[in-house]
Structure 1
């Protein structure tokens, strides 16, 4: 197996045992990028010479942390000291921030090698779409706004990458690119140095190819509960949540959820329907209102400083706040505040984890869209941890995943549950390697 095809956890073990060098891994990733990225278009900035120099330096050092020697892609709304942060905006074509975002600093201090910046929807919010294409079918979107990060990991160009989620920009691309994705509980990964679009929603997450990859990064970020005991599937109580937006599901999304539930039941889990309380039906609209309200403040500097370069839909967001009803905005915040502890309280003797769609279905055709985030917004607004898991291939041969969800700050326990259920749900883990690598 070429080093670029290794998962991050596999590569980390080989590097730790000195059976693989960081330079060998980086050169292998660069060769894969050279062969594929002209079509996939995942990267906005890449300096191969810099990457090789950094890899050689890491090979001279004892392991610094769990990510030692592992290449990492960074979504280009996240600051990097030594690379431009353009945000895919004509306003910032060559912006050099000069300082790492907190999440990048954590990765570097844990031994990661920052390989480059990945393409994104403009400001991870609106305006220009990424040029990135789905590696499984170049006519289809990889999802967004974490488009380049999802495609780069999905296409075996880099083992790990940062994404972000304000509505569904992380877990949905994980589904579309056959990836594992973790959106931790809100605020556990510092957002300092991330271009914010909605301060009470924006969350930093990461993509990889296994639960072990998710745990590797979680260890670097010192997420709570990583010492949680191992979990077995037999007797696990799973709430099958179709959610209040089930009318937006597509046949492939329904098939993925049903397949995951059947597989878990066959392995001994107790899978029962979970109906969320009535108030939760209002959360999608509340998230949209909060996102627009906070986005108006986030993009006011660009609106004032470069209105001719700011995308029309983002300009409209700034202008629309004057017409927003303060009472409606407060009601949206209050609804979220009420629902969060109610959701947390569902867990206990009768419920261990929630199983729910990660996306409506397969990645849509065309680069004019990034897909619908409707099956992610409730969980984003609730601030709960989510882990995306590959499940099936849809009728077009594209991957479709599901996600598991836990209560706030249960990230370590959710990873333990993911380690148990992923081998059951992801029943054909090597198909992507075969499909993309032959």
Structure 2
């Protein structure tokens, strides 16, 4: 099992259950791999080696006794450093929270450990999840490029085979952006599907929690462990949990998938568009019916995203910003101070516009199973790059470039999964996303898996 870290989560789970692989051995391999890669990647705020090895030993005893808890049992995973773990700091990659120690586990950590997962560490985020660069961390395909954000550490370590799954959060794309630029699968569930209890907030009405994994099946297994109502999260939805594996291998024959005529292919890198169009063609060849659709109210998507996110983030930070202003990084402090100047009337207008947009998207989805388009418009930019220049000569700041195509699913609260679909000319990953109806994660995972079966991107790995 010398190549055990190259397995998917589900393959590792099978080896663990059949005792061809030991949780203790696998966790030790993961920690050793992380130690080798960290000087170049800096994906982790901290490793939780003692807690991880204790969990691995417990998993080993349980599996040997025939008490297998499921496919996460004994598998090394990581969580973004917004997630509380009892007794450990939750720094949010910020000096502001250097002395904040959690007194309880977040709901997701509770559920992962209940499923037997071994948490090896806490990954870097753009400070307080307020950005898409994750400046501390490099992209494993080329460390001179960004790993995306805000869950950049999670995307980087999963791609680099440091662990089999890492949790992220997604407010404007912060799971799907790093997944797309690091070459992993990133799943943002429906708003309210996964509890956010014990997770530091960026924007309460836009925040989602979900996994970054190597394969679509790994994302389905993880969601099965995480999904469910939690009264401790006011936004949690009391909706029955689906069997996310039941239809995973059913293919796409007979499904209707919309391809946007507007918005999603505007100002998109040529390599990204070519690879996404190829993915659509493959799904059509697999039997999907491809139909063109118009994205409603597209010109207002970014206004609503920032009109909600900025004042909600500033409200969360109101006290800390006054007590520890100088400890914030300049970019985040500027966003927070700007958010405090947004009038309440503008915030209410954004709330009203979102309600109209959600209704318009419901109408668009009539007769559709999902829509598909690029996950992000560009491969990973250089870490020192401030703008992207498009072929028509226009330039766009890096942050709105990467948020533009992922934000719609946050604004309307729909499930979305980012899936690798090839590489750019300079060897960086590209990705498409599938957006579905509310609580139809099983359907978008089924579509994503149908494509994944036609390609081998999940087997590709960076060489640091």
Which moves more between the two structures, 177-186 or 93-102?
93-102
The 5 Å alignment of 1:71-150 reads 71-126=76-131, 129-150=134-155
SS in 1 for 2:364: coil
SS in 2 for 1:60: helix
Kept in 1, the 8 Å contact 2:85–2:104? The answer is yes
| Cα distance in 1 between the residues matched to 2:216 and 2:364 | 25
Correspondence 1:330 to 2:348:
yes
Once the two structures are superposed, residues 364-386 of structure 1 have per-residue CA deviations (whole angstroms, 9 ceiling, x without a partner) of: 01256675211101111110001
Kept in 1, the 8 Å contact 2:186–2:213? The answer is yes
Count the aligned residue pairs. Answer: 432
Kept in 2, the 8 Å contact 1:45–1:84? The answer is no
Kept in 2, the 8 Å contact 1:242–1:357? The answer is no
| Cα distance in 1 between the residues matched to 2:147 and 2:334 | 26
Correspondence 1:436 to 2:460:
no
Kept in 2, the 8 Å contact 1:45–1:83? The answer is no
1:86 positional shift: 1.2
* Residue aligning to 1:14: 15
Kept in 2, the 8 Å contact 1:76–1:120? The answer is yes
Kept in 2, the 8 Å contact 1:136–1:398? The answer is yes
Kept in 1, the 8 Å contact 2:134–2:147? The answer is no
* Residue aligning to 1:301: 319
1:225 positional shift: 2.4
Once the two structures are superposed, residues 12-33 of structure 1 have per-residue CA deviations (whole angstroms, 9 ceiling, x without a partner) of: 1211222211111101112211
| Cα distance in 1 between the residues matched to 2:439 and 2:379 | 30
* Residue aligning to 2:38: 37
Correspondence 1:269 to 2:297:
no
Q: Structure 1 unaligned runs (5+)?
A: none
Kept in 1, the 8 Å contact 2:375–2:406? The answer is yes
Kept in 1, the 8 Å contact 2:81–2:125? The answer is yes
Kept in 2, the 8 Å contact 1:131–1:367? The answer is no
Distance 1:269 1:336, change over 3 A: same
* Residue aligning to 2:361: 343
Of 418, 428, 431, which residue of structure 2 is paired with 1:398?
428
The 5 Å alignment of 1:398-437 reads 398-424=428-454, 427-429=455-457, 432-433=460-461, 435-436=462-463
| Cα distance in 1 between the residues matched to 2:79 and 2:161 | 15
Kept in 1, the 8 Å contact 2:43–2:152? The answer is yes
Distance 1:243 1:96, change over 3 A: farther
| Cα distance in 1 between the residues matched to 2:331 and 2:193 | 30
| Cα distance in 1 between the residues matched to 2:380 and 2:139 | 8
Distance 1:245 1:127, change over 3 A: closer
Correspondence 1:281 to 2:299:
yes
SS in 2 for 1:400: strand
Q: Structure 2 unaligned runs (5+)?
A: 229-240, 387-397
* Residue aligning to 2:372: 355
Once the two structures are superposed, residues 29-56 of structure 1 have per-residue CA deviations (whole angstroms, 9 ceiling, x without a partner) of: 1221122221111111014344223211
Which moves more between the two structures, 148-157 or 222-231?
222-231
1:314 positional shift: 3.7
| Cα distance in 1 between the residues matched to 2:44 and 2:165 | 14
The 5 Å alignment of 1:167-206 reads 167-206=172-211
| Cα distance in 2 between the residues matched to 1:127 and 1:67 | 29
| Cα distance in 2 between the residues matched to 1:430 and 1:216 | 16
Kept in 2, the 8 Å contact 1:225–1:413? The answer is no
Kept in 2, the 8 Å contact 1:299–1:314? The answer is no
1:123 positional shift: 0.5
1:128 positional shift: 9.1
1:243 positional shift: 4.6
TM score, norm. by length of structure 1: 0.92
Correspondence 1:247 to 2:266:
yes
Distance 1:367 1:156, change over 3 A: farther
Correspondence 1:226 to 2:243:
yes
| Cα distance in 1 between the residues matched to 2:385 and 2:123 | 18
1:343 positional shift: 1.7
| Cα distance in 2 between the residues matched to 1:231 and 1:11 | 23
| Cα distance in 1 between the residues matched to 2:119 and 2:355 | 37
- RMSD over aligned Cα, in angstroms? 2.2
| Cα distance in 2 between the residues matched to 1:52 and 1:289 | 44
| Cα distance in 2 between the residues matched to 1:417 and 1:167 | 22
The 5 Å alignment of 1:365-380 reads 365-366=382-383, 372-380=402-410
SS in 1 for 2:88: coil
Kept in 2, the 8 Å contact 1:302–1:310? The answer is no
1:431 positional shift: 5.0
Kept in 1, the 8 Å contact 2:313–2:339? The answer is no
Kept in 2, the 8 Å contact 1:88–1:123? The answer is yes
* Residue aligning to 1:389: 419
